[in-house]
Structure 1
Amino acid sequence: MQILRVVLLISAGFVLAGCGADGEPIQPTMSANVGVGSSGTFVGGGVGLRRGGLGVYLGL
């Protein structure tokens, strides 16, 4: 449950950065995937921002 709160706070930071709260807007990137393996199914995803040579990506 604690990890979920941290992920939500970081995601909120990405949203604020993406909307241009501190300068020009940055288009965020998002990804989602679903897989099936020998141990069952899994779901994953992530969100990221890229500005110039700096990129930040948070995956789950």
Structure 2
Amino acid sequence: MNWLRGKKTYMVAAMMVAISILNIMSGEESLGTFVSSPHFNTLLEGIGLGTLRAGVTKSVFR
């Protein structure tokens, strides 16, 4: 399981973003309702999680 070291957070962030994008692409919601839905918050949280992990990697492993 050593190959997963440092990649688990990126996988979770990618899944969060993918699920949110699939919800808008499925056609069940319009863009206006998507922005006000919890799926949009999940999208932003996934992007933020990936960005946070990238920042921690750069500062800790230097």
TM (norm. structure 1) is 0.43
Higher relative contact order (CA 8 A, sep 6+): 2
Structure with the larger strand share: 1
